[in-house]
Amino acid sequence: MTRRNALIISTGLALAPAGRGAASTGRLKQSVARWCYAKTPLEDLCRQAAEMGLAGIDLVDPPDWPTIKKYGLTPAMVTGSGTIPHGWNRKKNHDALVKQMQDNILVAAEAKVPNVITFSGNRAGMSDDEGKQNCIDGLRRVKAFAEDHGVTICLELLNSKIDHKDYQCDHAQWGVDVIKAVDSSRVKLLYDIYHMQIMEGDIIRTIRQNIPYIAHFHTGGVPGRHELDETQELQWRSVAKAIADLNFQGFFAHEFVPTKDPMASLKQAVDLCTV
């Protein structure tokens, strides 16, 4: 997936200090994934996102950050290390992932970007217990660096049923086990509601039980990863309210592929999740 590929780090990247973010309506800091609106010029997306009250843009590269910040938005989730199939579950990847993660954390910290994304990798025959321990061992190598620079590493939960066959971090409990064992305020989960609804459901209770281990959310309607509307099986306002009631301070980012007018669909999702 090109949106997940490692960033090419530009040396000498200089950004002005982060400006004050757009005031989001409601208790959640809502964001939107750039790749879902790839046909919309970034300037237009940022302008309209700010007008809607969004606070951030997800999955964006360093060259885009100045434009995002110009509109009072935060680059809310950016590349940390690895790709979906190749991640921390294999020790042979660790040295390269540590280097990539440290380089990207430095760039993020300089620009006051809060979160970087990372992945377990695919099983490829590896047991879940072995993959879990390898992820723990690898992430322990970068946790102090993340803590020292004030950037949160987010291990993403993805479904292995439909979109990412064989991905190992595909259940909330597996991911929580990793985060608990790494034991860092700067290593947490990116809880993708779309993916976890496909894999296990029970979304609100799972979030309530594990909120200390979650730093970021992604949305997307099931089935199809489309609009958060009446065609989808979750009550999105109830989900958003449950998260807000937990005093969640991270970003709640929309990552669905619109089938209608893109900006109208985004505005509908923002309004629905304003609680």
> Any idea what the CATH number is for the domain that residue 139 is in?
3.20.20.150
Is residue 2 predicted with pLDDT exceeding 60? no
How high is the mean pLDDT of the chain?
92
Query: How far apart are the C-alpha atoms of 204 and 269, rounded to whole Å?
Result: 18
Name the one residue in this structure whose structure tokens are 């940390």: 80
Total count of residues recorded for the chain: 275
Is residue 9 predicted with pLDDT exceeding 90? no
pLDDT of residue 150: 98
Q: What angle do CA 64, 273, 240 make, to 5 degrees?
A: 105
pLDDT of residue 237: 97
pLDDT of residue 6: 35
Residue 205 maps to a domain: yes
Split at pLDDT 50, 70, 90, the class of 48 is very high
Give Cα separations from 168 to 20, 79, 130 (angstroms): 37, 19, 11
Contacts of 188 (CB under 8 A, 6+ apart): 152, 153, 154, 155, 179, 213, 214, 215, 216
Angle between helices 262-272 and 236-245 (to 10 degrees): 50
Q: What is the pLDDT of residues 182-225, one digit of tens each?
A: 999 999 999 999 999 999 999 999 999 999 999 999 999 999 99
Is residue 10 predicted with pLDDT exceeding 70? no
Residue 11 maps to a domain: no
Is residue 46 predicted with pLDDT exceeding 90? yes
- Residues 56-82 have a mean pLDDT of 98
Residue 15 maps to a domain: no
Q: What is the pLDDT of residues 96-152, one digit of tens each?
A: 999 999 999 999 999 999 999 999 999 999 999 999 999 999 999 999 999 999 999
Strand 74-79 relative to strand 115-118, pairing:
parallel
Q: Which of 216, 233, 232 is nearest to 265 (CA)?
A: 232
pLDDT of residue 12: 31
- Residues 32-36 have a mean pLDDT of 98
By residue range, what is the domain housing residue 199?
27-272
Residue 92 maps to a domain: yes
- Residues 42-53 have a mean pLDDT of 97
pLDDT of residue 16: 34
Residue 178 maps to a domain: yes
pLDDT of residue 105: 98
pLDDT of residue 24: 52
- State the first-to-last Cα distance of the chain, in angstroms, to the nearest integer: 32
Name the domain count of the chain. Answer: 1
pLDDT of residue 85: 98
Residue 7 maps to a domain: no
Is residue 3 predicted with pLDDT exceeding 90? no
Split at pLDDT 50, 70, 90, the class of 268 is very high
Residue 202 maps to a domain: yes
Residue 95 maps to a domain: yes
Name the one residue in this structure whose structure tokens are 């790494």: 182
Is residue 7 predicted with pLDDT exceeding 70? no
